[in-house]
Structure 1
C-alpha cells in the first residue's frame, strides 16, 4: 500500500482573480493600475495614488470541468471519478486611506491561493487521492509613500492562514496472495498553519499617459503537522505495517512561491488604455512536499518530490471607456506549467494555461462603483500516468480541462 499527499493547485498558478475589477484584465497591468484599494494585493505602492478613503468588497466563484478518462494502460478498477472540481466561493476586502500628501495606509483580506478536488470515493485513482483541499487566506496591512510626484514605494507584511486536508483510500488486500476484503480503508491528514511574508512594490509615472509598476512577493512557509488518521484497515498485515511506521505528527512543509511582476499601463487616448504584465513564480521551491507511505516496504517518506519547475506569465489587456460611467475590460494571458507532462499527478492535475477575461465597471455615482467579470482558464488535454512501487499504473487523460471564474465587487469612496 502506498499513499501520497500533496497540494491541489490546478495549472501550477496562483489565482489572480479575487472579484476585483482587474480580474477582467487577466492580470494585465496589475502592478501599474491603481483604480481601487485591491491594488495593494498586486502592488502595495499603488494605494499612494488613491485619494481619500476607499473600501472595496468583492466576491467570486470558481468552478470547472476536470473529468478523468481511463485508457488501455490503466491497471486499476473503479469509476472515472466524476467532475472533481466543486464550486469554490471566495471573497475579499480592501481599504485604503490617504494620510497626507505623501503617505497612505491600507489593509487587505483576501484568498488568492489554493483549490480543491473531490473525486468519487471508489474511483480508479482512489489509492492516490480521493479528496484534497488547500486554502490560503492572507491578511495584509500596507504602507505606501510618495517619494515625489512620479515615484511611489509600498510594502505590506502578510500573514497567511492555511488549511490543508487530504484523503485517500487504502487497499486492504495489499501484501496478501488472495483478496479476501471487499472494502477499502482510508487515510486522512488535516491541519491548519500560519505563515508570514512580505509584499513590496514600486510605481513610477513615466509621463502623463504611461505608468510602470514593479512588485515582489516573498515566499510564505506553511508548516502543517498532524498525525494521519487511518480508518477501516481490516488487513492485519497492513495494521501491523502502519503501527510500525513512524507516522505520528508528520510534518508537511509547503511554500507559497515568491513572485516578481512587471506591469505597464499606457493611456492611448480618452477611450483606450493598453496594459501588459510579465510575471515569474518560484514553483521549484514547492517541489519537495507531502508524505509518501509504502507499507509493503515498511517505510515512510516525509516528502514527495513533485518535480515542480518555475512558471512564467505574460498578459495583455485593454480598457475601453464606453461612456463617462461605463468601462469595458478585456485581457488574455499565458502561464507555463509547473510540471512536465511525465510528472503530472491526479492530486495535482497541472498544465500550461491560457486565460481569456472580460468585465464591466460602472460608476453608480461619484462615490460608488460596481464591477463584474468572467475568466476562462483553459488547461486543455492533460495525460496522466502515475504508478505505485508494485508496478500498477493509473493511466488516462483529462480532456478539454477548464476553469471558470465569475466575480463581482463594489467600491465606495469617502
Structure 2
C-alpha cells in the first residue's frame, strides 16, 4: 500500500472522527456494531471481518472475500463540580456533542491455509471541551486526540484447529489542546497542535479445542509517536506567538485473552480480559521556543473485563448482550481536566441479520462512569499555582453502532 493511499484513508477518517472523553485513559474499543453489542467478546468465538481488530487470528475463519463498513455514534455528558476555593465554586458541564467513529474491513482467504486482511479503525481518542472562561481553563478547556490505525494482516492455519496471524499497525496520531496561559496580569489563549505517524505490531492466535470450546489471545505493541506541530498564543484577537513545536508520546501495548463456550447449539458465551500497559504513558511533553509544556500522567497499568452472549434466534437473526468493566489507569495524583475519567461500566445490546451474502448489525450501549473526588492544580494569571477540590459526576454516554457486511 503506497504512502499516498495510506494518507488518503487517514484523511477521510479524520474528517469524521473524534472521540469522547468517556474512554478509560484515552483508549477506545468500538470497532463494529456486533463487537459493541458483545463488549468485544469476539476474541475466540465466531468471527466476522471486524473481529480482526480484537484478535488478528480470527482472520483464519473467514471464507471467501468479505467486506464490512460502519460507524459508531457517541453522545457523552459529564459534570465537574468545584467545591473550593469559593471564588471558583460551581457546577460546570462538559459540552455534549455527537462524535462518530467509522470502521472498514476487507478480508480474503487465499487458500485453506493462508488469509489476508486489512482493518481501518481507531484505538485511541479523546475529546473534552468546556467554556473557555471556566475556572479550570488554565489547565485545559478543550483537547482532542484522534488516531487512525491501518492494520494489514496475514493469517496462517497451522492445523484445522490452530491459527496464528501477524501484521504491522500503521497509526496516524493528531493532537490539539487549548488552555488559558499567563500573560503578565491577565490570561491569554494558547493552542498546541501536531500530528505524526507511528508503527506497531499486531499478533494473534486462536485454538478450537472442541466443537464447544475455543481459545484466543492477541497482542498489540507500543506505538511511539514523534509529534510535529506548532503553538499559537493570543491575547484577545491579537496573535502574540506562532511557533513550531514538537513532542513525544508512547501509546501503550495491550494483551488480550478470550474463552468462548457453546453450552447449547444456538448459544455462545465468551469471557475475556485485556491488560493495557498505560504506565508507558508517563507524560505528554511539547517543546517550543517559550519552553516545554509538560503534562504529567503517572498512569498505572489497567485491566478491562468482558462477558458477551450471542443467541441464534432463527437462521437469519441473532440477539446479543454484554457487560464490560473497564478500569481507569489514573492514579489519584495524576488527575486533570484533560482526562476527567474513572472506572466504567458498559452495558451492550444488539441485533444482527444475515443471509448468504449480506449482513446488517446494530447495537446500543450505555456507558456509566463512577463518580470520583480529586484535587487539581491550576495556575493564576501571575503563574502561581493553587488547588481546586472537585468532583467528577454524572459521566455517561450513549453509543449506537451500525455495520453492513458483504461476502462475495
Q: Confirm or deny a common fold (TM above 0.5).
A: yes
> CA–CA distance in 1 between the matches of 2:23 and 2:142?
14
Partners of 1:80 and 1:123 within 8 A in 2: no
Match of 2:253 in 1: 258
Correspondences of 1:209-288 after superposition (within 5 Å):
209-232=212-235, 249-288=244-283
Q: Cα deviations across residues 279-331 of structure 1 (Å, max 9, x unaligned)?
A: 100100011223499xxxx9844533211010111111111111221111111
Aligned-pair CA distance for 1:12: 1.5
> CA–CA distance in 1 between the matches of 2:33 and 2:56?
15
> CA–CA distance in 1 between the matches of 2:73 and 2:389?
31
Q: Aligned match of 2:335 in 331, 337, 344?
A: 344
Q: Number of aligned pairs? A: 384
Correspondences of 1:101-180 after superposition (within 5 Å):
101-172=112-183, 174=184, 176=185
Give 3-state SS (helix, strand or coil) of 2:404's partner.
strand
Give 3-state SS (helix, strand or coil) of 1:129's partner.
coil
Q: Cα deviations across residues 169-194 of structure 1 (Å, max 9, x unaligned)?
A: 1244x4x4xxxx5xx41001111111
Match of 2:349 in 1: 358
Give 3-state SS (helix, strand or coil) of 1:68's partner.
strand
Match of 1:25 in 2: 38
Aligned-pair CA distance for 1:114: 0.2
Partners of 1:263 and 1:276 within 8 A in 2: yes
**Higher RCO structure, 1 or 2 (CA under 8 Å, sep 6+):** 1
Aligned-residue RMSD, C-alpha: 2.4
Q: Aligned match of 1:317 in 285, 301, 308?
A: 308
> CA–CA distance in 2 between the matches of 1:92 and 1:167?
28
Partners of 1:331 and 1:356 within 8 A in 2: yes
CA pair 332-9 structure 1, distance change in 2 beyond 3 A: closer
Partners of 2:168 and 2:199 within 8 A in 1: yes
Aligned-pair CA distance for 1:341: 3.3
CA pair 307-8 structure 1, distance change in 2 beyond 3 A: farther
Match of 2:295 in 1: 304
CA pair 284-135 structure 1, distance change in 2 beyond 3 A: same
Match of 1:64 in 2: 76
> CA–CA distance in 2 between the matches of 1:373 and 1:234?
45
Match of 2:4 in 1: none
Q: Is 2:319 the counterpart of 1:328? A: yes
Give 3-state SS (helix, strand or coil) of 1:227's partner.
strand
Q: Aligned match of 1:379 in 369, 386, 390?
A: 369
Partners of 1:277 and 1:315 within 8 A in 2: yes
Q: Aligned match of 2:47 in 24, 35, 42?
A: 35
> CA–CA distance in 2 between the matches of 1:31 and 1:147?
18
Q: Is 2:203 the counterpart of 1:191? A: no
Aligned-pair CA distance for 1:76: 3.7
Partners of 1:85 and 1:117 within 8 A in 2: no
Partners of 2:82 and 2:88 within 8 A in 1: no
- Structure ID, larger Rg: 1
> CA–CA distance in 1 between the matches of 2:284 and 2:357?
47
- TM-score, structure 1 normalization: 0.87
> CA–CA distance in 1 between the matches of 2:377 and 2:98?
29
More strand, by proportion: 2
Q: Cα deviations across residues 60-95 of structure 1 (Å, max 9, x unaligned)?
A: 111211122221335548x75432342211111101
> CA–CA distance in 2 between the matches of 1:31 and 1:13?
22
CA pair 388-116 structure 1, distance change in 2 beyond 3 A: closer
CA pair 380-186 structure 1, distance change in 2 beyond 3 A: same
In structure 1, list runs of 5 or more residues that go unmatched. 1-6
